[in-house]
A and B are shown apart, each in its own frame.
Chain A
């Protein structure tokens, strides 16, 4: 399989990339890891006239903590996230998810930013970033804007990114105080996209639950933030009953379809079980932190 013909540019600076996109954004596609885009080109689901390859732009590969955030540069690879030693303690949800995204070879190229921009409802990072309350910083030739991930992910393969914009970084607020979280993913086989996955993040405030983040993968048109479940937890005691109730509400928020990976009922049941297990684990980590 071959992509249809396109022009290719590999700008050496972000400014150059942005000025190219300012002129021709509508007919262009940005290339990062290529692990979603190139398959789409080969299948001819996308046929852009121009590919703007970001990979030669320097200074976008960082993964670092500063000003109370974990900052993930647009070209930080999934492999860098897996390899990072610093995430386990502060960002256990990210550390749990990273090794479950695709396989080690695909992770050598695939980026977190590319995954968000791709907005596949079965993508793992969308849920992780929703649960963590992350933001995406995007830039065009006319300036920057910062968008909460909840507003960035609009629909299946659709984001609020303009064709003239690129994501420059993802900003994850450092979970405060006693907090914990995890990512649970059911796969048919290793390396597969999720049948169902769940991201859970929990902060304790004086023994009660402070902020709770719950988001669901592969059970709707996009990654779903289980808002009612989150609200039911905020301020509540972390008891088996409150977790059960949150799990029920999260399962209600899911709208899975029956497909080769399982029936809708089955997937909903997995959401419920995973949210409950995820909350148990998050609580354990929060109490230990």
Chain B
């Protein structure tokens, strides 16, 4: 077993984990953060996307020990004091989800893209940037709209 300390959504969490423990299982089962989903378990669908030090990773393909000393952000870390994050708000307003299973991953992936300055003005750009996230329900239409909406708002308020 390895002792690790991960700052998860701003709170330092110390645990003992087996080196082979996957980050997604650590988050869901050891820390009780079940907002992060497991879809494919093979790094294809993006349902398990979380941020490590601000960058998106597929947490079914990262070891929990790799996150030692790092900052992990999950979907639970986005809303502040009961106010939804602009991305969450945009997904709600634009009907960006149906079953909702892919949504936490979509939102975390989108957050990383927005922060990285990825072009997200055109529908085409957004669709390409989301190539690592699959949705079985929506046909992506409203996911794209939601991200366009949120990216526009977040970038204009960041530059204001």
Assess whether A232 is interfacial by the CB under 8 Å rule: no
A-side interface residues, number (CB < 8 Å): 30
Q: Check A34/B66 contact, CB under 8 A, given A1-B41, A5-B20, A104-B129.
A: yes
Residue among B20, B21, B55, B68 with the highest chain A CB neighbour number at 10 A: B20
Flag whether A6 is at the interface (Cβ < 8 A). Answer: yes
> In the complex, what distance in Å separates the CA atom of A41 from the CA atom of B42?
11
Binds A, one of B8-16, B29-37, B57-65, B81-89: B57-65
B109 A105 Cβ-Cβ under 8 A:
yes
Q: Knowing A103-B132, A104-B118, A191-B132 touch, does A39 contact B66 (C-beta < 8 A)?
A: no
Contact A105 B22 (CB under 8 A): no
Asked if A3 contacts B58 (CB within 8 A), the reply is no
B27 to chain A, nearest CB (A): 15
User: Which chain B residues border A146 with CB–CB below 8 Å?
Assistant: none
* Given the contacts A55-B66, A108-B56, A35 and B43 also touching, CB distance less than 8 Å: yes
Of the candidates A39, A51, A83, which one forms a contact with B19 in the assembled complex, judged by CB atoms under 8 Å apart?
A51
A8 touches B63 (CB 8 A): yes
Q: Is the CB of A103 within 8 A of B20?
A: no
In the bound assembly, the distance between CA atoms of A104 and B115 in angstroms comes to: 13
Task: Report whether A38 and B61 are in contact in the complex, using a CB–CB cutoff of 8 Å.
Answer: yes
Among residues 35 to 78 in chain B, which have CB atoms less than 8 Å away from a CB atom of chain A? 41-43, 46, 49, 55-58, 61-63, 65-66, 68
Flag if B109 contacts A106 (CB, 8 Å): no
Assess the B131–A3 pair: CB atoms within 8 A: no
Residue of B nearest to A53 (CB): B66
Cβ contacts under 8 Å, A106 to chain B: 43, 58, 132
CB proximity of B115 to chain A, nearest CB, Å: 11
A31 to B62, CA, bound (A): 11
CB distance from B56 to the nearest CB of A (A): 5
For A55, what are the chain B residues with a Cβ–Cβ distance below 8 Å?
66
Q: How far is the CA of A42 from the CA of B20 in the complex (A)?
A: 9
What separation, in Å, do the CA atoms of A103 and B112 have in the docked complex? 13
Closest chain-B Cβ to A267's Cβ sits at a distance in Å of 22
The reply to whether B2 and A8 form a contact with Cβ atoms under 8 Å apart is: yes
Given A8-B65, A34-B66, A35-B61, A105 contacting B112 (CB threshold 8 A)? yes
Given contacts A7-B19, A8-B2, A8-B19, contact A104 B132 (CB under 8 A): yes
What 1/0 flags go to A21-62 for Cβ under 8 Å of B?
Answer: 000000000010011001101100000000101010000000
* Structural contact, A34 and B20, CB atoms closer than 8 A: no
Closest B residue by C-beta to A190: B131
Closest 9 CB pairs of A and B: A103-B132, A8-B19, A190-B131, A191-B131, A105-B132, A103-B131, A3-B20, A108-B55, A105-B56
Q: List 16 A-B contacts (CB under 8 A).
A: A1-B41, A2-B20, A5-B20, A8-B63, A10-B66, A31-B66, A38-B43, A39-B42, A51-B19, A79-B116, A104-B109, A104-B129, A105-B49, A105-B58, A108-B112, A190-B131
Q: Which residues of B contact A (CB under 8 A)?
A: 2, 18-22, 41-43, 46, 49, 55-58, 61-63, 65-66, 68, 109, 112-113, 116, 118, 128-129, 131-133
A-to-B contact residues, CB < 8 Å? 1-8, 10, 31, 34-35, 38-39, 41-42, 51, 53, 55, 79, 83, 102-106, 108-109, 190-191
Known: A3-B20, A103-B46. 14 other contacts (CB 8 A): A2-B20, A5-B20, A10-B65, A34-B62, A34-B63, A34-B66, A38-B62, A41-B20, A42-B61, A53-B66, A104-B129, A104-B132, A105-B46, A105-B49
